[in-house]
């Protein structure tokens, strides 16, 4: 399949890869109740760098447990991963939502690996006794909420970094490279420009309807004609959502705007034709641009979404054994510049 690379300095190919499932049940591998977690933070780190974070568990709209001081390590896979001990008794018959708040970063609410933030209204994580696995590295956590964390990134956080530029300071050294510098400032400024904040808790409790009263018995009269056979509703069919992505991508870097032409064919696996839409294609493409900028440019470049017209032509192809394509993580740029 033809691929066209785009970007500024170190940008990789556009694409949209997401797995949409209807159930998220963790696999058991050991006794006890622990969580093998993988997540991605904005910026690049040295291997074995450790980050602390907090986990809140929600059952319906109620917070039922908080785990402070959990720790993950940066791996060669460019993600933070490790095992978190959930040392509180949980009702394993209930589904949960998870709020994750890393140190120096904004927090995100997850109902499933793909239902995040505003789309998260009902928890779908089901724990079972043993080692539970959760990979949410397809979502980006944004930097800049410095201690004391207040759930937003603002001028106060920027001022803390500027006051420590060129110095060693654990609070404002976001990527933990030993010095507070322009990288820490740019990561925070990037989050501020996107107007990011902690996800709001939008969980709702299910409405329990009263049991209906018993209807009086009615004598059924014979039908004069046979009733037509009801048509069975079509079932969801898994398949490939093939897309042709065209348009322009503008990226701002140190005050300079660079424009690249986008012309790419790609696909992702979906659970039904209803998930294969132009809007979904554009949404996942933009998310991939954001992720690529954070990975390849250390957060120094920003995506000018408002001035980057994109178009997706999509086609659904049934394929029961569809598998997502392997993502190209190259940061090379061979795309054409806009006229």
- Tens of pLDDT, residue by residue over 140-168, are 999 999 999 999 999 999 999 999 999 99
Sheet with strand 97-102: strands edge to edge:
108-110, 97-102, 50-59, 62-74, 80-85, 33-41, 130-141
- Tens of pLDDT, residue by residue over 276-296, are 999 989 888 888 888 887 777
| Most distant CA pair in the chain, distance | 90
In our burial notation (b when 16+ CB lie closer than 10 A, e otherwise), range 277-288 reads eeebbbebbbbb
For 3, residues 6+ apart whose C-beta sits below 8 A from its C-beta are 13, 264, 265, 266, 328
Instruction: Report residue 11 as tokens.
Output: 């940008």
pLDDT band for 242, please (50, 70, 90 cuts): very high
Mean pLDDT of the chain: 81
Q: Which residue has the higher pLDDT, 105 or 87?
A: 105
> What are the CA-CA distances from residue 211 to residues 9, 60, 214 (Å)?
63, 22, 9
Give the H or E element holding residue 277: none
Cα separation, 318 vs 196, in Å, equals 38
Instruction: Report residue 293 as tokens.
Output: 């900028």
pLDDT for 10 = 37
Q: Which residue has the tokens 């309807």?
A: 209
- Tens of pLDDT, residue by residue over 124-137, are 999 988 889 999 99
The answer on pLDDT for 122 being more than 90 is yes
Percentage, residues of the chain above pLDDT 70: 80
Mean pLDDT, residues 218-241: 63
Q: Which domains does the chain have, with CATH numbers?
A: 24-143 (2.60.40), 155-192 (no CATH)
């Amino acid at each position: 399949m033809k691929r066209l690379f785009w970007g500024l300095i170190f940008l990789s190919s556009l694409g949209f890869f997401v797995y949409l499932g209807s159930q998220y049940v963790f696999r058991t591998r050991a006794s006890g109740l622990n969580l093998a977690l993988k997540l991605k933070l904005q910026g690049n780190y040295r291997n074995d760098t450790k980050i602390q974070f907090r986990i809140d568990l929600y059952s319906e709209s109620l917070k039922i447990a908080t785990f402070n001081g959990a720790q993950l390590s940066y791996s060669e896979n460019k993600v933070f991963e490790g095992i978190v001990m959930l040392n509180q008794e949980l009702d394993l018959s209930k589904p949960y939502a998870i709020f994750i708040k890393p140190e120096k970063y904004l927090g995100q609410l997850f109902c499933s690996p793909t239902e995040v933030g505003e789309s998260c209204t009902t928890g779908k994580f089901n724990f079972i006794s043993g080692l539970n696995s959760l990979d949410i590295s397809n979502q980006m956590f944004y930097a800049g909420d410095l201690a004391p964390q207040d759930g937003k990134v603002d001028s106060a956080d920027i001022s803390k970094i500027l006051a420590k530029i060129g110095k060693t300071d654990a609070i404002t050294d976001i990527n933990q490279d030993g010095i507070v510098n322009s990288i820490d400032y740019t990561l925070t400024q990037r989050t501020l420009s996107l107007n990011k904040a902690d996800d709001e808790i939008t969980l709702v409790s299910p409405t329990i309807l009263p049991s209906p009263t018993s209807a009086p018995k009615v004598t059924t009269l014979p039908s004069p004609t046979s009733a037509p056979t009801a048509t069975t509703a079509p079932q969801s069919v898994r398949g490939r959502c093939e897309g042709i992505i065209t348009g322009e991508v503008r990226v701002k870097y140190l005050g300079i705007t660079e424009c690249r032409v986008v012309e790419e064919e790609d696909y992702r696996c979906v659970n039904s034709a209803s998930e294969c839409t132009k809007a979904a294609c554009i949404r996942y493409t933009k998310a991939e641009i954001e992720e690529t900028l954070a990975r390849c440019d250390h957060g120094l470049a920003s995506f000018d979404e408002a001035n980057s017209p994109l178009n997706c032509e999509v086609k659904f192809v049934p394929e029961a054994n569809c598998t997502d394509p392997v993502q190209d993580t190259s940061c090379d740029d061979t795309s054409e510049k806009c006229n």
